[in-house]
Chain A
Amino acid sequence: MEPNQQTESDTELVTETLVEEVSIDGMCGVY
């Protein structure tokens, strides 16, 4: 997953996007 805009700080980077889309069909255990 590509990091997009990064804000550097002494601690950690925001390396993930703040929103993630998931398909309603995209989880295992539902038929």
Chain B
Amino acid sequence: MTTTAVPRLVEQFEHGLDAPICLTWELTYACNLACVHCLSSSGKRDPRELSTQDCKAIIDELERMQVFYVNIGGGEPTVRPDFWELVDYATAHHVGVKFSTNGVRITPEVAARLAASDYVDVQISLDGATAEVNDAVRGPGSYAMAIRALENLAAAGFSDAKISVVVTRHNVDQLDEFAALASRYGATLRITRLRPSGRGADVWDELHPTADQQVRLYQWLVAKGERVLTGDSFFHLSGLGEPGALAGLNMCGAGRVVCLIDPVGDVYACPFAIHDRFLAGNVLSDGGFNNVWQNAPLFRELREPQSAGACGSCGHYDSCRGGCMAAKFFTGLPMDGPDPECVQGYGAPALARERDKPRPAGDHSHGGRRREPVPLTLTMPPKRLCNESPV
């Protein structure tokens, strides 16, 4: 009997799997907030939003495909009247749920209900360890709302909520404070990369961490990040240290092991790539989610071996894989070149040039987007106050 080398797991995953390992499912574009960097440009409900029945059919498919875990988000998913019905349906059908929320509906009663469930995880979005930093991005009152949700969850005995932070130029020096917050509420800290997606495209230049800050961020993760989640979103920083120093598969999962289902049933390669270029199909018009996942031409293309392109001669390519597809796309950089935040600085010249930045697929923002150049400091935080009725 011959023994053969077992290929690295990552090599298997890059070819794609018969079903995603995990996926993001945005239930609605409606949202009570108007965060400046919203990756899905959310605010107003899309009239073509999937019905409760449509959603249950998707859950049935996920069960058949044995997708064990979905991250339900939006917009603000809890504003859908059928939100709890869908969560219960999912967990009753062997699909575990984590939902991302700004905390608007996490009352003590809701927290108690969540504490009684074994199969639902909660992720509270927070982008500043202080109200001053957070509310500049997420709007007045949003910090207090998130903290109140964390307090309610802790008081109800809910264990291990996640606090999910998008790292920006203004909060990267608060990493220790975020960790302390998480500890205080019995939660786990999660930090993720700011992508130039959705409304993020408008503020990315001024909000993304500087090169120096990226180094500090990387060092912090290596030194103190053992119990910090990252969603593997910092694999583009791998070149700053030894391969494998950061937890995660260290690869782009889009179309290979993850994808996005959006509120109208469109399937995108990932939630940071909501654009026709990364649209694989629609669950209603393309024969269901399984058919799109297995057969969409876009996904077949992504599952082919990818060429290193201009990064081929760089010794770090093996660990950074050329970075994030969505980050390159929405900054108008070539897909076969360096990431805009390439740690070797190879992306910087391209960023300095004139570039055509693709616009996101849809804009569900309240009051439309601002198109004029953004001032260097955010003097115009979101005008909307927290509002329980966003529709």
Contact = CB atoms under 8 A, between A and B. Distances in A.
Interface of A: 1, 7, 9-18, 20, 22-31
B69 interface: yes
B71 A23 contact: no
Interface of B: 2-9, 21-24, 39, 69, 71, 73, 100, 164, 190, 192, 229-233, 235, 244, 247-249, 251-254, 257-260, 269-272, 324
Nearest to B21: A27
B231 A12 contact: no
Nearest to A17: B6
Interface residues of B: mostly helix, strand, loop or mixed?
loop
Contact of B69 (A13, A24, A29): A24
A16 B3 CA distance: 12
B9 A11 contact: no
B6 A28 contact: no
A24 B248 CA distance: 9
A23 B100 CA distance: 18
Given A7-B3, A30-B71, A31-B164, A25 B231 contact: yes
Contacts of A29: 24, 252-254, 257-260, 269-272
Given A16-B6, A31-B271, 15 more contacts: A13-B3, A14-B3, A14-B6, A16-B8, A17-B6, A22-B21, A23-B229, A25-B229, A26-B247, A26-B249, A29-B253, A29-B259, A29-B272, A30-B231, A31-B39
Contacts of A11: 2-4
26 contacts: A11-B4, A12-B3, A12-B4, A12-B5, A14-B3, A16-B6, A16-B7, A17-B6, A22-B249, A23-B229, A24-B21, A24-B22, A25-B229, A26-B249, A27-B231, A27-B258, A28-B253, A29-B252, A29-B259, A29-B260, A29-B269, A30-B23, A30-B71, A30-B231, A31-B73, A31-B100
A10 B257 CA distance: 34
A1 B250 CA distance: 14
Nearest to B71: A30
A2 B94 CA distance: 35
Contacts of B269: 29
A7 B251 CA distance: 30
B232 A15 contact: no
Contacts of B248: 23, 26-28
B232 A26 contact: yes
A15 to B, nearest CB: 6
Nearest to A23: B247
Contacts of A23: 229, 247-248
Contact of A28 (B8, B71, B231): B231
A29 B192 CA distance: 10
B4 A25 contact: no
- Most chain B C-beta atoms within 10 Å of own C-beta, residue among A11, A18, A26, A29: A29
B230 A25 contact: yes
B294 to A, nearest CB: 18
Nearest to B244: A1
